[in-house]
Amino acid sequence: MPTEIERKFLVRDRSIVSGLTGVRMAQGYLADNGMIVRVRVVGDKGFLTLKGKTVGLSRAEFEYEIPLADAQVLLADFASLGRIEKVRYYLPVNELTFEIDVFEQELSGLVVAEVELPSEDHPVPSLTWLGDDVSHDPRYRNSELAVSRTVPR
């Protein structure tokens, strides 16, 4: 079973994305009862993702590419739990890749870095631009941000 092991941090220095090329994303949530069903549009591609309950830093994750037109309809008509828009930047650091999300609209000003790890005890490098670890703070889950539409304080 595919498993996602992820740490999430606030970004202290937003200039870290200067010079990087970002990818615009829109995503919406169709269900969230501890397990999440998400639809995402990235450029000209659509994706449907199912995420299991989080245990520690890990959870099951299944992602499938779907036709763009289907993803657009799901996003527009079925994402009843909310949606978010962001620009994602990819920053390789050693053997890891940080995904830096710069949120838009009501969430403007929020910048979060996620990094997928090979194991829960894998060290995350100490980087000056990384801020607080919010991996266990549910307010920073994208599904929660889509519902609240506000930047946590």
pLDDT at 153: 85
Domain ranges of the chain: 3-148
| Span 3-9, average pLDDT | 95
Which amino acid is present at 89? Y
**Is residue 29 annotated as a catalytic residue, yes or no?**
yes
pTM for the structure as a whole: 0.93
Percent of residues in the chain assigned helix, strand, coil, to nearest 5 = 20, 45, 35
CATH superfamily of 3-148: Hypothetical Protein Pfu-838710-001 (2.40.320.10)
What distance lies between CA 35 and its chain's CA centroid?
A: 15
- pLDDT for 75-125, tens place per residue? 999 999 999 999 999 999 999 999 999 999 999 999 999 999 999 999 999
Considering the candidates 29, 64, 89, 140, report the single residue annotated as catalytic. Answer: 29
pLDDT at 32: 78
